Every structure is written in C-alpha cells, then in structure tokens.
Chains A and B, each alone.
Chain A
Amino acid sequence: AQSVTQLDSQVPVFEEAPVELRCNYSSSVSVYLFWYVQYPNQGLQLLLKYLSGSTLVKSINGFEAEFNKSQTSFHLRKPSVHISDTAEYFCAATSGGSYIPTFGRGTSLIVHP
C-alpha cells in the first residue's frame, strides 16, 4: 500500500523568499503524484500533478515539483512566495493501478510580511 510522508508540519517563511515543501512516497509502482492546496475554510484544490513524461511539473501560480524516482520524492518548490500562498499543502499519491489517492499529513505554509 502506498504511504505519503510530509515531514514538515509547518513551514514559516518571509514574503519573497524561496520555499520547499517536502514529500516522500513509499511505492514506486505506477505512481501518480499530486499536490493539493487548501486555503482557510475552503476545500482541496489540485495545484499540480505528475502522471508521466517530464519529471518537472509546474502550476500556473509559480509552484513546481519534481518527480525523483531514486529518492522517491516529489518536493514542492516556489522561488518567491506571496502572502496569498499561506495555506495547507497536501501531497498525495496513487500507485499500483489503484486510483485512490493517499494523502500526507499536510504542511502548513505560513508566509510572513
């Protein structure tokens, strides 16, 4: 069974600084990887996904993540964060033909002015 680990429960950062949110998964068999974002009092929105092809995937608001098979990681990065990026970020994965996403515990990104 797939498991997803997000080691950082909270990441505080100043505005315009770079940030990396870490995600590791356990099973590499036919893995699909996702980052979801949850703004305060809202639902989960898909930020970006890796299904196949290029290992570097990007979102429309400047986030990117790289699928690293050797390190079983899918870390989320942004070179310069905004106050509006403050949210909870969830890494999720499916594998082995299962379509059911398994979620990590989430990382709370807190951007300070």
Chain B
Amino acid sequence: EPEVTQTPSHQVTQMGQEVILRCVPISNHLYFYWYRQILGQKVEFLVSFYNNEISEKSEIFDDQFSVERPDGSNFTLKIRSTKLEDSAMYFCASSGQYTEAFFGQGTRLTVV
C-alpha cells in the first residue's frame, strides 16, 4: 500500500539553527501539506502546496518557514532559524483530486 514517508523520525537542533524536514508523498498525489502538533495540542495546518507553489498557508507559516519540491518526489519544510516554540511533531500529508489526506508518521523536532 502506498504511504507517505518522512525523515528523520526525530531531529534535535540548537536554537537558531536551520532544519530541513523531508517527506516523500504518495507518487500520484497532487496536493501536499505540512501540519504540526505541539505536544498535547491540536493538529495545526501550516501550508499546502499544489502545482509547484504554495496554495494556502496559515498565520503560523511566517518568513521563518519555507517549502520546496526540489525534484519529482521530495517535499521539504525548512525552518530557517529555529526557536524553542518550534518544538513539535511535524506531519507531512498528500492527497489526490477529491481524496482524503494521507499522513506520514511525523518528524519530532526538538529545539534545545
């Protein structure tokens, strides 16, 4: 069964450092998303990506964040200068036309 894969599963970084979270969406999907879940809180939408550009973003997705689809398979989330409050589980998801979103297992980001 096709699945969304995320690497790494856990990333520890120092405050102020840049991190890149990687995702391989399901191959024939068209829409790609990043969500985050701060420990004990709800799953929050960050950004969606379609046709090689951001289609929608939340107020959380400020200038510190960027997304990229550098090739035909990967979808990355970059945080330029991490803050302590960026510590969270980050989920990548993808969907086809009119289908539900399929989620990866998540990357736990810990900023120290």
A34, A42, A90, A104: the one within 8 Å of B100 (CB)? A34
Nearest A residue (CB) for B44: A103
Nearest A residue (CB) for B6: A43
B41, B43, B45: the one within 8 Å of A44 (CB)? B43
Instruction: Assess whether B75 is interfacial by the CB under 8 Å rule.
Output: no
Nearest Cβ on chain A to B10's Cβ, whole angstroms: 10
Say yes or no: A106 contacts B45, CB within 8 Å.
no
Q: Which residues of B contact A29 (CB under 8 A)?
A: none
Q: Which residues of A contact B48 (CB under 8 A)?
A: 99-100
Q: Which residues of B contact A102 (CB under 8 A)?
A: 45
Chain B interface size, as a band, is 20 to 34
Nearest Cβ on chain B to A110's Cβ, whole angstroms: 14
Q: Which residues of B contact A105 (CB under 8 A)?
A: 41-42
- A106 CA / B48 CA spacing, docked (Å): 21
- A104 CA / B101 CA spacing, docked (Å): 15
- A102 CA / B56 CA spacing, docked (Å): 13
Which residues of B (60-95) have their CB < 8 Å from a CB of A? 91, 93, 95
Nearest Cβ on chain B to A26's Cβ, whole angstroms: 15
Nearest Cβ on chain B to A76's Cβ, whole angstroms: 15
Q: Which residues of B contact A44 (CB under 8 A)?
A: 43, 91, 93, 103
Listed A/B pairs (10) with beta-carbon separation below 8 Å = A34-B100, A36-B103, A43-B104, A43-B106, A98-B56, A99-B98, A100-B48, A102-B45, A104-B42, A105-B41
